[in-house]
Amino acid sequence: MNDQAQLLPGTLDLLILRAISLGPLHGYGVLLRIGQISGNALLIEQGALYPGLFRLVRQGLLKASWGTSENNRRAKFYSLTVAGRKRLREETNSWNRLAAAMTSALAAQPEEL
Amino acid sequence: MKPLDWFRIRIAALFQRSELNADLEEELRSHVEHRADDLERTGLPRAEAERRARIEFGAREKYKEECREALGGNPVGTLMQDVRFSVRVLRKSPGFTVAAVLTLALAIGANAVVFAVLNGVILRPLNVPHADSLYGLEHSDDHMGQESYPNYLDLRDRSRGFESLVAWNISQAGIDTGGDPSRAWVAAASGNYFDALGIQAFIGRTFHAGDEHGVNSAPYIVLGYTYWHSHFQDDRSVLGRVIQINKHPFTVIGVAPPGFRGTLLFFNPDFYVPIVNQPQVNSEFDLNTRGVNWIFETMGHLKPGVTPGQATADLNSVASYLGKTYPVDDGGMQFILARPSLYGDYMGKPILGFLAALMTLSGLILLAACSNLGSLFAARAADRSRELALRLALGSSRNRILRQLLTEATLISLAGGAVGLLGSVAILRRLSVWQPFPQFPVQIPVNPDAKVYLVALALALISGLLFGIVPVRQVLNTNPYEIVKVGSAGVRGRRVTLRDVLPVLQIAICAVLITSSMVAVRGLARSMHSNFGFEPQNAMIADTGLGMAGYSGDRESAMQRRMIDAMRTIPGVQSAASINWAPLSGGANSWNVFTDEAKSLKPSSAAAAPYWYNISPDYFQAAGTTLLAGRTFTWQDDKNAPLVAVVNREFARKLFASDKDAVGKHFQVVLGADIKRIEVVGLVVDGKYQNLTEDQAPAVFVPLLQEPMSQTYLVVRSNGDPQQLAAAMRGRLHDLDEGLPVNIQTWTQLMAAILFPARISTVALGILGTMGAMLSITGIFGMAAYSVSKRLKELGIRMALGAQRKEVLQAALGRPLKLLAFGSIAGLVLGILATKILANIVYQATPRDPLVLAGVVLAMALVGLVATWVPAQRAISVDPLILLHEE
C-alpha cells in the first residue's frame, strides 16, 4: 500500500477521461482501467469515483447509457463526447507541460545554473 | 397517525421514487456487485465478498450526496430533508418556536393590515371599467373639485380632452316610501353619468343624457344596490314605484349593479337622481347661478391618446375663457387633474401621508421583530455550537448547515406569516363592514386581495432571511475541534458584537414607536380640549332639512322659529337656537368678501373667503361663544332691516386690519348672483369651523331671517340628562311636524367625524406602540435570560466567594440594562426627530412636552423592569453548590 501515491487535487477528472478514451467503461471498469494504466500506483477510494463521473457528465464531457457488462450484469457505461475528447487533449498537453517543468525544476543541478 | 407524519411520509415517498435516486442506487449497487464478483474469484465466499466490496466502496451515503450535488443536486429532496430536520429541531424547543412565530405573526399581521388599507384606499382603482383613464377635476388653489352647474356645462361642452365629463353632488334628502319618513344620501348625477362610466343597470335601466329636459324634468331614481338590498329586500317589483323625495314624487327606474358603489371610494350613495332635479333634492342649489359651486365633483375618461397634461392645458384654456367672460364668478380659475376616488388631492394627500407614515412605523415593527429574532437565533446557534461542531466534524458541509439554519428561520417566518395573515384577514373583514359614523354611509373597502397575500408572503420570506443570516458568521467561524474539546462556554469576548448591536437597534425602534404613540395620545387629548370657539359639552344638536318635509321660502323661517320656541319649553333647557351648519359638523358654506372700498369684485381681489353661517338670535348663547363687542341679533333683524353681521376676530383682522373697532364697519359680499353690503354689529371669539388642524379661519354670522336656509341645526343647551333631553326634543319636533326627519345627538358625537383622523391615528399609533413595547420586553427578556444562563456558573462561583446580591445582579444584568438605556436614548432622540412625519397625522404633535418625555422614559424603565425581573430572580437564586456539582 505504501507505494501508492495520493492523487493531486484535480487530476482525478483527467484520469477518468483518459481511462474512458480507451473505450466505453462502466464505473468499476474505470477504476480497474486506471489501476491498470497507472500500474496500480494511484490510491482512489472506490466511491470517490462517482461524484467525478457525475461532474463530467454534467459538464457534457461524458455521456452515459445503460448496458450489460462482461459479468452479465446491468451496468451504466460511460463514453467520451466530442467535447470530452477535446478537453482530454488540452488537459494532457497542459499536464505534460507542468510535468516537464516540474521534472526539470526538480532535476536542476547547481552547475547548470 | 399525526397529520404531520402523514404529510412527511407522503412527501418523502413522492421524492424517493424519483428517477435520479433509483438510477444512482442501481449504478452503485452494480459497482459493488462487480467488485464482489472479482473478490469471489479470489476465493472468498459470496457473502464475505459482498461485505468487503461494500467496505471498500467507502461512505456510500456521503458519495451519493456528492453525486447529487455534482449533478446540481436534488434541490427538492435536499430541501425536504432540511425541512424535516428543522421541524424536528423546532419541536424540541416549543417555547422558542411559539414565541418566535407569535412575534412574527404580530409584526407581519400589522404590516399586512396597513398594506391592505393602503391597497384598498390608494392603490386599487375605482370599480368602474377602464378606471385608469378616469380623472377628476380639481381647482389648483384649494384642491377642491366643486363647480357650479353652468360652469360644468361649459366645461363639458367646450373641453376636448375628455370623452364625456360627468358631474355629481351629494345631498341628504327626506324619503317617504309610504311608511316612516327617513333620510337618505342622494347622488344627483348628470344624465350621462352611468353611460360615461360604463355602468349598466342591474335591473331596469339607468338614466341617460336624453332624459334631461330642463329643471326638474327627470324625476327618476336609480337605487344603489346596497340600499335596494337593505331597504327593499331585493324586491324586483320596486321598478315603477313612486317614492317621495322631499315631498316630490320620483319614479324608481332601475337598480345599480352590486359592484358599483359610486365614484367616491368610501361613500356609497343610497340612490342616484338626475342632476337636473337637484333643486328638488336640495332647494339651496339651482341650475342657473354661476357663482355657487355646489357640484361636488366633475370627472371623465380621457379620450384615447390624450395625455393628462394635454387635457389639463385644454381645460385651462376653457377656464381662462370663462374667467374673461364671467370675471366675478370665474376669474382666476385654474384646474389640475387628480384621481377622483379620494376626492383628488384634497383627501388623497393627507390619507396617503397618514398611510405612508403608518407603513413606515409598521415596517419598523417588523424590523424590530427581525432583530429580536435575530438575536434569539444567534443565541440559539451559540447554544447549539456543540451540535453544529459535531456535524461539521462528521463531514457535513458548512453550506449544508447554513442552509438548514436558514430553513429553520424560513419555516418560522412562514408560520408567523400565515398566522399573522389569518389574524389580519379577520381584522380587515371587520374593518370593511365597519361604519365609523352612524349618520354617513361611509365604509372603508379594504378586503384583502392577492396583492395583500403576496406582500405578506414576501415580508415573511424577507424577514426569515433577515434574522436567519444573523448567526451565519458565527457558524462560518466555528472551529469544530476546539468546541468539541472545550465545550461551548469557550470564548466570550468583551468586544461589541452583532448580538449587542441588534438589541440596541431593536430597543431604539421600539422607543421611537412608544414616543410616537405617546405624542399621538397627548395630541388627541389636547385637541379634545382645545379652544373650539364654542362649548360642545352640554349641547344637544338636532339637525334637519326643512326642505325634506316640503317647506320653502318664508315657511322655513317661521318653522325654524316655532322649533326654537318649542325647544325652549323643555324643562331644564337654558337656551336654544339654530344655525345652518353647526361648526365642526362636517359642512359649511363660504363666500368671497370684499372691503367696502373694493371696486372690482373678481374672486382674485377678494379680501377673504370666510365661513358663512346663518344663525337665529340666541345662537352665541346656546353655543357658548363669547361676544367680545357689539351686539348679537334679534328677531327684528329681518328682511326689512339693514343687513347686519357678527364676525370673528380673524375676519376683522383680515378685512379691517385690526379687531379693535370692527363694529360699525361695512364689507361687501358676492352671494351667488347678488352683491350685498353688510354692516358689522358684533365681534365674537375665533374658533374652529371645518376641522381641528385648520389655520385660523375668518367666519361671518348673519341673521337667519335675512338669508333663509332650509338646512337647520338646532342647538339646545341644558345640564340635564342627554337621553331624556333627546327624547323630549324628538317629541316636541314630532308634535310640530311628524313628517320631518331629524337626527338628534350631542355636539360631541356630531364632532366624531371631524375627530376621526385624530382618533384613528391615535388608535393605530397606540397599537403599534404597544407592540413595540411588547417586542422590547421579549427582546430584553431573551437577552437577559440568555446572559444569565450563560454565566450561571460564574455567578455561582462569585456567590460562593461571598459576592453580594447587588454585585451578582450587576454582573448578570449590567450589560442588558446598559444596552436598554443606550437604545432608549437613541430611540427617544430619533422619535423627537421623526415628529415632522407625525405632524402629518397627529394634531398638535409635539414631543417637546415634558409629559411625553417623562412618559417615554418611564415606559422604557418599566419595560426593562418587567423584562429583567425573571432573569434577575434566577440569577439571585443561584445555588453555588448545585451548580458546581453539575460539572
Q: What is the DSSP string of B334-363?
A: -EEEE-GGGTHHHHHHHHHHHHHHHHHHHH
Does residue A9 lie in a domain region?
A: yes
In this complex, do A51 and B66 lie within 8 Å of one another by their Cβ atoms? Answer: yes
Co-location of B659 and B773 in the same domain: no
d(CA B53, CA B51): 5
CB-based contacts of B703, cutoff 8 Å, min separation 6: B614, B615, B616, B617, B633, B637, B638, B644
* CA pair distance A19, A61, nearest whole angstrom: 13
**d(C-alpha B394, C-alpha B839), whole Å:** 59
**Which of B525, B470, B472 minimizes the C-alpha distance to B758?**
B525
Q: Are both B496 and B548 inside the same structural domain? A: no
**Mind listing the pLDDT tens digit for each residue in B484-525?**
665 544 444 445 566 677 778 888 888 888 888 888 788 777
Q: Are the CB atoms for B677 and B668 separated by under 8 Å?
A: yes
Judging by DSSP bridges, how do beta strands B611-615 and B699-703 pair with one another?
parallel
Give B20→chain A minimum CA distance, Å.
12
pLDDT for the residue B1: 45
The answer for residues whose C-beta is within 8 angstroms of residue B876's C-beta and 6 or more apart is B805, B808, B809
In chain B, what residues touch A48 (CB-CB under 8 Å)? Answer: 58, 63
Q: Are residues B726 and B773 in the same domain?
A: no
Q: How far is B66 from chain A (nearest CA, A)?
A: 6
Domain holding A52, by residue range, is 5-96
Of B750, B781, B815, which closes a domain? B750
Cβ of B69 within 8 Å of Cβ of A71? The answer is: no
| Alpha carbons B768 and B762: distance in angstroms, whole number | 10
Residue with cell 378616469: B134
In a domain, A111, yes or no: no
Question: Domain check: are B614 and B637 in the same one?
Answer: yes
- Is residue B118 in some structural domain? no
**Same structural domain, B708 and B564:** yes
Q: Within this chain, do residues B522 and B612 fall inside the same structural domain, yes or no?
A: no
- CA torsion, ordered B344, B350, B356, B361, to nearest 10 deg: -160
Would you call A45 and B58 a contact, using CB atoms and an 8 Å cutoff? yes
**Is A113 within a domain?**
no
Confirm whether B323 is domain-assigned: yes
Q: Are B434 and B444 in contact (CB under 8 A)?
A: yes
Please indicate if any CB of chain B lies within 8 Å of the CB of A46. Answer: yes
Q: Do B69 and A50 touch (CB under 8 A)?
A: no
Structure confidence at residue B884 (pLDDT) = 64
Question: Do B734 and B777 fall into the same domain?
Answer: no
The residue of chain B with its CA nearest to that of A74 is B30
C-alpha closest to that of B787 among B815, B823, B806: B815
Q: Is the CB of residue B26 less than 8 Å away from at least one CB of chain A?
A: yes
- The reply to whether A104 falls in a domain is no
The reply to whether B869 falls in a domain is: yes
pLDDT of B4 > 70? The answer is no
Q: Does residue A28 fall inside a structural domain?
A: yes
Residues B485 and B598 in one domain: no
- More confident site: B91 or B416: B416
Q: Please judge whether B35 and A76 are an interchain contact, meaning their C-beta atoms are less than 8 angstroms apart.
A: no
* Nearest alpha-carbon partner for B339 in B417, B264, B403: B264
Cell of B177: 316610501
Phi then psi for residue B849, to 5 deg, are -135, 115
CB contact under 8 A, A27 and B31: yes
| Total tally of structural domains belonging to chain B | 4
Enter the pTM of the model.
Answer: 0.72
Does B25 contact chain A (CB < 8 Å)?
Answer: no
Domain assignment present for B2:
no
Q: What is the CA radius of gyration of chain B?
A: 37
Q: Is residue B14 part of a domain?
A: no
Cα(B600)–Cα(B598) distance, rounded to whole angstroms?
A: 6
ipTM for the predicted complex comes to 0.89
Looking at the fold, whether B309 and B239 belong to one and the same domain comes out as yes
Clarify whether residues B465 and B489 are in a common domain. yes
Is the per-residue pLDDT at B590 higher than 70?
Answer: yes
Q: Which residues of B touch A50 (CB under 8 A)?
A: 27-28, 31, 63, 66-67
Report H helices in B487-593: 498-528, 554-568
Yes or no, beta carbons of A69 and B57 under 8 Å apart: no
Q: Which of A28, A54, A71 sits opposite B67 (nearest CB)?
A: A54
Q: Is residue A40 part of a domain?
A: yes
**Pick among A44, A45, A46 to test the B interface (most B CBs inside 10 A):** A46
Q: Identify the residue whose cell numbers are 451519493.
A: B64
Output phi, psi for A71, to 5 deg.
-85, 5
Instruction: Say yes or no: B34 contacts chain A, CB-CB below 8 A.
Output: yes
For residue B108, tell me if it sits in a domain: no
For the ranges B16-25, B135-144, B462-471, the lowest mean pLDDT is seen at B16-25
Q: Which of B382, B464, B413 is nearest to B101 (CA)?
A: B413
Clarify whether residues B284 and B162 are in a common domain: yes
How confident is the model at residue B483, as a pLDDT? 64
Q: Is the residue at B93 inside a domain?
A: no
Q: Domain count of chain A? A: 1
What average pLDDT does chain B have? 84
> With 50 as the cut, is the pLDDT of residue B449 above it?
yes
DSSP classification of residue B873: H
Average of per-residue pLDDT across B71-82: 69
CA distance A26 to chain B (A): 8
Which pLDDT does position B115 carry in this prediction?
92
In chain B, which residues have their Cβ closer than 8 Å to the Cβ of A51? 63, 66-67, 69-70
The verdict on a CB contact (< 8 Å) between A45 and B60 is no
| Residue numbers in A near B58 (CB within 8 A) | 45-48
DSSP string, B509-533: HHHHHHHHHHHHHHHHHHHHTS--S
The secondary structure of B623-642 as a DSSP string is HTPPEEEE----TT-STTSP
The highest-confidence range among B179-183, B732-736, B849-853, by mean pLDDT, is: B732-736
For A6, the enclosing helix (H) or strand (E) is strand A5-6
Least confident of B208-212, B498-502, B553-557: B498-502
Q: Do strands B134-139 and B335-338 pair parallel, antiparallel, or not at all (unpaired)? A: antiparallel
For residue A50, is it within any domain?
yes
User: Number of H helices and number of E strands within chain B?
Assistant: 30, 22
Q: Give the model confidence (pLDDT) of B221-279 as tens digits.
A: 999 998 999 889 999 999 999 998 888 999 999 999 998 988 888 888 999 999 999 88
- pLDDT at res. B490: 44
Q: What is the pLDDT of residue B491?
A: 46
* C-beta atoms of A58 and B60 within 8 A: no
Final residue of a structural domain among B301, B333, B365:
B333
**Residue B431 Cα, gap to closest chain A Cα (Å):** 56
Provide mean pLDDT across the span B675-685: 93
Owning domain of residue B296: 141-333
Is residue B455 located within the same domain as residue B431? yes
Of B3 and B217, the one with more pLDDT: B217
Q: For the beta carbon of residue B735, count every other beta carbon within 10 angstroms.
A: 9
CATH number of the domain that residue A67 is part of: 1.10.10.10
